[in-house]
């Protein structure tokens, strides 16, 4: 098992692996997307080229597919998610329209997941965001804000910045396309009647240190050998369950109607600021929590520094991700020194990078990036990342205090 990236300063540890979005009745879910991109067949072995030097055929095919998605000016696709993860067991079907780099519309066509309602929608025109919760009949709105913590993956491929759990899922899948190590398992297999290459994927070893996604997975990406586009993704997430995404339709560079990227609230709905939606979600799954609240939400014991070590102050816990797939980050301070302890089942057994070391009776690794040291290890099925402006000895000493 392995892991992937999301963007430093915002460890989106598989932040909400779900969906949520559909077009309003009468808003026109029938976009015309007639032009389909043409492509040459995928090679079963990668010839030496500038892009594929020193990579195997599987990585070459995966890179080629990701580059095609990233280069698309417009995109229209349908995606079907089936999850066997206990806390999000069910299916969701969504439809996406995207005009690169910053306009997108995602709709939930059908859903059996509790947190995602059929008929929900997320839209951005590049300046505004609208998220329509069909179950609550509320439209959440906000201006688009870009800052240093905004993942650059939001402008790539099937990813987008409209928000909502549906778009979050697509962002995660795009990150897997862009940040996985791929191995050609089979050059020819059948997926829904189409010939496909089976690429086995795991996170790149440097995904965490580069600020990408923080969750552990292995899986298969099936890529159409005719047009070099993905047909299906199967992910096994750190023994928590399997998530399967099938892609029955994916068109690159089709003409899209401009009205897709605007939104009018339907009759009978109320409009609220997007922060209301965020605060509501934080009350249940994310946000700053006390240690007691975090442990109740996690459902398992979180390691922490005992209270009798009064020189350390815990300034709250941040929970990120969907229930059952969360990581919990404890924010500590000692004098003027700050550091964090991120822990969660999705962080367990991630590919190691850095100097091997012994920590709490097990094997760990110490790495340094941008002046920050990270001590990473797995203990009792829980992955832990201790990060801060620490020395090796300080990090190991803090780790020994945890109980």
Q: Give the mean pLDDT of 10-21.
A: 35
Rounded to an integer, what is the distance from CA 383 to the centroid of its chain? 18
Give the span between the Cα atoms of 166 and 115, in whole angstroms: 10
User: Do the beta carbons of residue 139 and residue 131 sit within 8 Å?
Assistant: yes
pLDDT of residue 119: 93
pLDDT at 360 over 70: yes
Give me 350's structure tokens.
């991630």
Give the span between the Cα atoms of 145 and 335, in whole angstroms: 33
pLDDT at 32 over 90: no
Question: Quick one: pLDDT band at residue 282, thresholds 50, 70, 90?
Answer: very low
- Please give the angle made by the CA atoms of 140, 215 and 118, to the nearest 5 degrees: 35
Question: Quick one: pLDDT band at residue 318, thresholds 50, 70, 90?
Answer: confident
pLDDT at 193 over 70: yes
Give the span between the Cα atoms of 121 and 32, in whole angstroms: 18
Phi, psi for 161 (deg, rounded to 5) = -110, 15
Question: Quick one: pLDDT band at residue 215, thresholds 50, 70, 90?
Answer: low
Give the span between the Cα atoms of 367 and 376, in whole angstroms: 8
pLDDT at 284 over 80: no
- Among 205-209, 210-214, 261-265, name the most confident range: 261-265
pLDDT of residue 377: 94
Query: Among residues 388, 322, 379, 317, which one has the least CA distance to residue 347?
Result: 379
pLDDT of residue 160: 65
- Please give the angle made by the CA atoms of 95, 98 and 100, to the nearest 5 degrees: 160
pLDDT at 229 over 90: yes
Cα torsion 229, 175, 241, 197: sign: positive
Q: Which helix (H) or strand (E) holds 23?
A: none
- For 2-283, CATH gives 2.50.20.10
Query: Among residues 226, 231, 225, 227, which one has the least CA distance to residue 191?
Result: 231
pLDDT in tens, 117-127: 899 999 999 89
Q: Give the mean pLDDT of 267-294.
A: 70
Looking at domain 285-401, its CATH class is alpha beta
Query: Among residues 159, 177, 148, which one has the least CA distance to residue 8?
Result: 148
More confident residue, 205 or 187: 187
Q: Which helix (H) or strand (E) holds 289?
A: strand 287-289
Give the span between the Cα atoms of 382 and 68, in whole angstroms: 37
Give me 88's structure tokens.
């999000």
pLDDT of residue 149: 38
pLDDT of residue 199: 97
How do the domains of the chain map onto residue ranges? 2-283, 285-401
Mean pLDDT score of the chain, rounded to an integer? 78
Cα torsion 122, 97, 17, 294: sign: negative
Give me 260's structure tokens.
């897709």
Is 49 buried (19+), middle (13-18) or exposed (0-12) by CB count in 10 A?
Answer: exposed
User: Do the beta carbons of residue 71 and residue 253 sit within 8 Å?
Assistant: no
Give me 104's structure tokens.
């997108």
List b or e across 282-312, with b for residues whose CB sees 16 or more CB atoms inside 10 angstroms: eeebbbebeeeebbebbeeebbbbeeeeeeb
Give the span between the Cα atoms of 151 and 298, in whole angstroms: 26
pLDDT in tens, 151-185: 444 567 777 666 666 666 677 788 888 889 999 99
Question: Quick one: pLDDT band at residue 6, thresholds 50, 70, 90?
Answer: very low
């Amino acid at each position: 098992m392995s892991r992937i990236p999301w963007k430093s300063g915002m460890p989106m540890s598989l932040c909400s692996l779900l969906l949520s979005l559909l077009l309003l009745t009468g808003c026109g879910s029938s976009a015309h997307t007639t032009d389909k991109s043409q492509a040459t067949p995928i090679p079963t072995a990668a010839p030496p080229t500038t892009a594929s030097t020193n990579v195997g055929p599987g990585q070459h095919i995966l890179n080629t597919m990701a580059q095609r998605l990233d280069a698309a000016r417009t995109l229209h696709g349908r995606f079907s998610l089936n999850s066997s993860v206990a806390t999000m067991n069910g299916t969701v079907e969504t439809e996406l329209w995207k005009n690169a780099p910053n306009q997108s519309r995602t709709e939930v066509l059908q859903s059996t997941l509790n947190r995602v309602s059929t008929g929900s929608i997320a839209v951005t025109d590049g300046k505004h965001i609208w998220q329509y919760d069909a179950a609550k009949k509320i439209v959440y709105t906000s201006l688009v804000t870009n800052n240093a913590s905004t993942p650059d993956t939001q402008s790539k491929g099937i990813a987008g910045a409209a928000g909502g759990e549906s778009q979050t899922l697509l962002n995660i899948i795009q990150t897997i396309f862009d940040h996985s190590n791929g191995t050609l398992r089979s050059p020819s297999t059948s997926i829904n009647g189409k010939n496909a290459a089976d690429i086995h994927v795991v996170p790149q070893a440097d995904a965490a240190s580069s600020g990408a996604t923080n969750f552990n997975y292995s899986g298969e990406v099936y890529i159409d050998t005719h047009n070099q586009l993905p047909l299906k993704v199967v992910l096994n997430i750190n023994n928590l369950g399997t998530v399967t995404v099938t892609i029955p339709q994916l068109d690159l560079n089709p003409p899209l109607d401009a009205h897709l990227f605007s939104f009018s609230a339907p009759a009978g709905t109320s409009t609220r600021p997007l922060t209301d939606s965020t605060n509501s979600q934080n009350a249940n799954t994310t946000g700053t929590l006390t240690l007691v609240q975090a442990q109740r939400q996690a459902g398992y014991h979180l390691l922490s520094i005992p209270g009798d070590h009064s020189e350390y102050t815990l300034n709250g816990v941040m929970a990120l991700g969907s229930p059952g797939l969360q990581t919990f980050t404890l924010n500590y301070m000692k004098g003027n020194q700050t550091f964090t302890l991120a822990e969660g089942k999705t962080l367990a057994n991630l590919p190691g990078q850095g100097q091997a070391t012994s920590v709490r009776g097990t094997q760990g690794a110490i790495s340094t990036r941008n002046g920050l040291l990270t001590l990473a290890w797995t203990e009792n099925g829980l992955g832990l990342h201790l990060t801060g402006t620490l020395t090796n000895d300080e990090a190991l000493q803090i780790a020994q205090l945890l109980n």
